[in-house]
């Protein structure tokens, strides 16, 4: 059983489109995250949700919006996609922020053409 699963694994879309990436965790963790990894492998946090409440919202464009229907799911919606949004997006979860490690999903490679 995959602990943190993301879909889709690959996403190719045109500029201006709206897309969503889904994430589910079966670990019972209270906190979920979205990270963006650029071409240089740098991991940058985008959002964090704790028990369905947003607790971190880094300076990302408001075209990106996280949605958490319950504590096991954290989806990422992206509107009006731009070329610069091309990256690998990782979902992660943690039982206790700052006390335990994160469990990452396998990533979604987004390519905007």
Site for other proteins, rule CB under 8 A: 4, 33, 40-43, 45, 48, 56, 90, 92, 97-99, 101-107
Nearer to other proteins, 72 or 79 (CB): 72
**Beta carbon of residue 74, minimum distance to other proteins (angstroms, whole number):** 14
Nearer to other proteins, 45 or 60 (CB): 45
Which DSSP helix (H) or strand (E) runs through 111? strand 108-112
Q: Name the pairing type of β-strands 53-57 and 73-78.
A: unpaired
**Beta carbon of residue 47, minimum distance to other proteins (angstroms, whole number):** 10
Q: Name the pairing type of β-strands 19-25 and 10-13.
A: unpaired
Pair 51, 30: CB distance under 8 Å: yes
Max distance between CA atoms of the chain, in angstroms, equals 40
**Beta carbon of residue 44, minimum distance to other proteins (angstroms, whole number):** 8
Nearer to other proteins, 2 or 17 (CB): 2
């Amino acid at each position: 059983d995959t602990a943190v699963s993301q879909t889709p694994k690959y996403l190719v879309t045109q500029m201006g489109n709206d897309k969503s990436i889904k994430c589910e965790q079966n670990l019972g963790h209270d906190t979920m995250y979205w990270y963006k990894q650029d071409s240089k492998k740098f991991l940058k946090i985008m959002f964090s949700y704790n028990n369905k409440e947003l607790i971190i919202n880094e300076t990302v464009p408001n075209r990106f919006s996280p949605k958490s229907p319950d504590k096991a799911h954290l989806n990422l919606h992206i509107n009006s996609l731009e070329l610069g949004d091309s990256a690998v997006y990782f979902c992660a979860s943690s039982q206790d922020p700052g006390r335990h490690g994160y469990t990452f999903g396998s990533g979604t490679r987004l390519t905007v053409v």
